[in-house]
Structure formats: structure tokens, C-alpha cells
Amino acid sequence: MSHSPPVRRLADWDHEQLLALAAEYETPLYVLETGRVQANYRRFDAAFPDAEVMYAAKAHTGRAVLSALLDVGADIECAARGELQRAIEAGADPNTLQYTAVNPPAADLDYAVELADEYPGLTITGGARDTFDRLQARGYDGRVAIRINPGIGTGHHEKVATGKDAKFGIPAERVPDLAADLRERFDLVGLHAHVGSGVLTGEVDEHARALGKVADLAREVGDGDLEFVDFGGGFGVPYREDEPPLDIEVVAETVREAVGDLNATMKFEPGRYVVADAELILARVNTVKEAPETTVVGVDASLSTLIRPAMFDSYHPIRNVSAPDRADEAVSVGGPCCTSADVFATDRPIARPEREDILAIGNAGAYGYELANNFHSQPRPAEVAIEGDGARIVRRRETMADVTRVEDETAGAPDAERE
């Protein structure tokens, strides 16, 4: 791409290239553009020149994404053991990683502590006093940060408004006492908060107010003794065609005004903002059924390919890339799973699909492949990355042998062998 518009719509993709990819790699197919991933990160990083901008790996842990971001200088924030391992395998220096533990299983803490023994720059963020006690019991006395629950949540869905969910973080009023305790046991280097996800223009002021509360708490705790205050991510992208994109420079100024002066480095960890519009799904129409109340369009993608509409009632734009100029018709688009939740759109105006047409489902980069699954024993799709004028396979299509391999290899085996 020669420029970096604030959002990439489905109409901006090269339709002929998409059709060629569908023909070569079959469908359903995830199509990623790594250059767009890098452009989105650079735009965000430029808006916050005085901050450290990490990438929240949970949005998309594909090696192609992680490697592309490491190439432009991004650090990585990880929420699970597997993300730590994948970041390292992609080339990240473990000393730069930040591990945000949420009710971490024992194996996750064991791995993080062992990693920190070799790479003491690793930072472990805890959201419960219990987590810090468990770290101490493992002999850990290194770098830690406290995850704060500010009591304010923002975002596109109640399931992602983490700032007011008791699952996440220490209640703000308990943080000063906990900080004093942790300074006796660990190297307390930071505070962390993640208020919510998918924040758009109308929610920026409330989001900034929550970040201001975090900054106030940092000053109360003693920001001069802290290396950083991590304000999380949550900055959204418009999934609906009529939603305007965030003016990230205006957002950055709003956040800076709300936060005020800090005697510590600001950190941010965008995930969705970086990858959402950098990937789409190609699906082939296999059925067109006229029903009394609607026209049902069946495709070969399903909620096993993209679960967000079923899980979050998420809107994803859909475009008929085979015939974008055909007259629009209100249709319902769904997949082959035997559940009424397997629907991507209901009564949506789309250039009338016909059997064998290729539909593109947009904004699939964030929590798309991450949440792909094997419901109905469906193998997960392939993923290709557009890089320059070409494309390469970065994740092969699963086979049924992949789906059943764990059963085949462990059937009847002792528990020790299964582990």
C-alpha cells in the first residue's frame, strides 16, 4: 500500500487478487496483508511519540503478524503462556515481553518464572493478590506490575468491558496497600489497566476518564518509583460501513489531557486497532434458497471459521467480490453448522449472490483465527499473507487427520504419555 488510510474497507481490497487467491488456495480462506498490520502499528505509534507501544498478541498470534510487527520495532504483550512462547518463536527478545496473567494456571506461572530466571527483563502483571503469593511461592522476586480494576468499563460489548468486570484486576481502593506489600517482596515496576475493547469515537471521552483514574492512582501509589503505567488498549476500528474511523491523533490528545503529567513512561497495547482491518475471510456460496421471509445464502465458512457474530453479536461487513456491481438484495448469510447461531448476516443488502460466487467477510484480523475451532469436526481454514505483489501460505489448511490426531495418538495411553 502506498498510503495508510485510517481504516480499510472491503471495497479497497484488490478483488481480482482475492478471486485468484480463492481459486488457488480454496475456501474458506483467511487473507492477511502484513503491510497493513505494520501501517496500523506505525500510525498508532506516531500518535503517542512519548509512550511505549506494545502489541496485544491475543488479537492475532499468527507468526506472520508477530514477525511483521517485530520488524517495525513493536514489543509484545502476552496474556498466556502460549503467547509468550509464540512471541519468542517469532523472534521477540524475552527481556522485552510483558506477561499479563489472568487467573493463570500453574503451568503458565511455572513457565513464566523459569523464563524470567533466564531473562530477568520479563515483566509479570498480576490481577490478584493470590497470583503474587503464588509467584513468591515459586521463588520469584523479579519484575511485577499490578493490574488495576478502575471500576469503569468501555467497549463494543459487555463481554469485553473488562474495566468493570471483577475477573480483571485489583479494585482501585486496594492498590496502595498492595503496592506497599509488593515492594517488600518483588521489584514493582508498573501499574496496568485495560478498560475495554472496541472503543469508537463516541466512547473516547469515557475511556479517557477511566485512564485518568488510573493515572491518579499511579500518582497516589508513587509514580516516581514506577517505571511505567500501562493503559492497555481498547482502541477500536469501525466494523460498520457507515461508522467513521477514530482520529487517532485527536484520541491521543484526549488521552494525554485526561492522564496529565506522569513521572513514569506511558505504555499502550493496541491489538484490534493493529490487525482488524488487515485480514478478511473468503467464502464460497454453495446454496441460494428462497424462503418466505428472506433469501438464505449458504457459504462454506461457518462459526467454526469466525465465531464473533455468534459469540458477541458482532457485525462484519460482507461484499460479493465476484460481482460487486450486481443489484443489491437483502439476504441472510450463514454457514453449514447445525445451529441457528451460524449466521453472518440477516437481511443484509448485498450484491445478489449466486452459487459459486466468492464473498468477502471483512475485519476478520482481530479474534478471527484466534477463536477458530473444530465444531462439527470442521478442519480450520488456511491463511495466506499478501506481501508486496505476491502471496504466501502462512498457515496450511487443517485436514481431518489434524482434527483427530490427538485422539489417535493418546487413545489408551497412560496419563503421563498424554501430557
pLDDT digits (tens, 9 = 90+) for 83-123: 999 999 999 999 999 999 899 999 999 999 999 999 999 99
Active-site residue, selected from the candidate residues 338, 401, 411, 416: 338
- Whole-number pLDDT of residue 115: 98
Mean pLDDT within 164-182:
87
Confidence of residue 203 (pLDDT cuts 50, 70, 90): confident
- 383's enclosing H/E stretch is strand 382-387
Tens-place pLDDT, residues 293-331: 899 999 999 999 999 999 999 999 999 999 999 999 999
- The H-assigned helical ranges of 34-77 are 34-47, 63-71
Is 379 marked as a binding-site residue? no
> With the C-alpha atoms ordered 347, 351, 355, 360, is the resulting torsion angle positive or negative?
negative
- Whole-number pLDDT of residue 152: 63
Is 272 marked as a binding-site residue? yes
Tens-place pLDDT, residues 45-97: 999 999 999 999 999 999 999 999 999 999 999 999 999 999 999 999 999 99
Is 202 marked as a binding-site residue? no
Is 349 marked as a binding-site residue? no
Tens-place pLDDT, residues 132-172: 999 999 999 999 999 999 876 444 434 444 444 567 789 99
Question: Is the pLDDT higher at 139 or at 409?
Answer: 139
> Are 380 and 310 in contact, with CB atoms under 8 Å apart?
no
Helix, coil or strand: residue 257? helix
Is 28 marked as a binding-site residue? no
- Whole-number pLDDT of residue 357: 98
Looking at the predicted structure, is the pLDDT value of residue 23 above 90?
yes
| Angle in degrees, CA 191, 197, 203, rounded to 5 | 100
- Compute the distance between CA of residue 378 and CA of residue 188 in angstroms, rounded to an integer: 46
Helix, coil or strand: residue 228? strand
> Are 248 and 47 in contact, with CB atoms under 8 Å apart?
yes
Write b or e for each residue in 242-254: b if 16 or more Cβ atoms lie within 10 A of its Cβ, otherwise e. Answer: eeebbebeebbeb
Mean pLDDT within 241-264:
93
Mean pLDDT within 192-197:
83
- Whole-number pLDDT of residue 413: 61
The 8-class DSSP code of residue 154 comes to E
Is 99 marked as a binding-site residue? no
Looking at the predicted structure, is the pLDDT value of residue 1 above 70?
no
Where do the CATH 2.40.37.10 domains begin and end in the chain?
277-405
Query: Three cell numbers at 281?
Result: 475471510
Residue 338 annotated in active site:
yes
CB neighbours (10 Å) of residue 158?
11
- Whole-number pLDDT of residue 414: 57
Name the CATH superfamily housing domain 34-272. Alanine racemase (3.20.20.10)
With pLDDT > 70 as the criterion, what percentage of the chain qualifies?
93
Mean pLDDT within 364-382:
97
Is 183 marked as a binding-site residue? no
Helix, coil or strand: residue 73? coil
- Whole-number pLDDT of residue 263: 95
- Compute the distance between CA of residue 346 and CA of residue 414 in angstroms, rounded to an integer: 48
- The H-assigned helical ranges of 298-395 are 308-312
Supply φ then ψ for residue 254, to 5 degrees.
-60, -45
**CATH class (in words) of the domain with range 277-405:** mainly beta
Looking at the predicted structure, is the pLDDT value of residue 409 above 80?
no
Residue with cell 514493582: 188
Query: Three cell numbers at 36?
Result: 497493513
Where do the CATH 3.20.20.10 domains begin and end in the chain?
34-272
- The H-assigned helical ranges of 138-279 are 175-185, 204-221, 248-259, 272-275
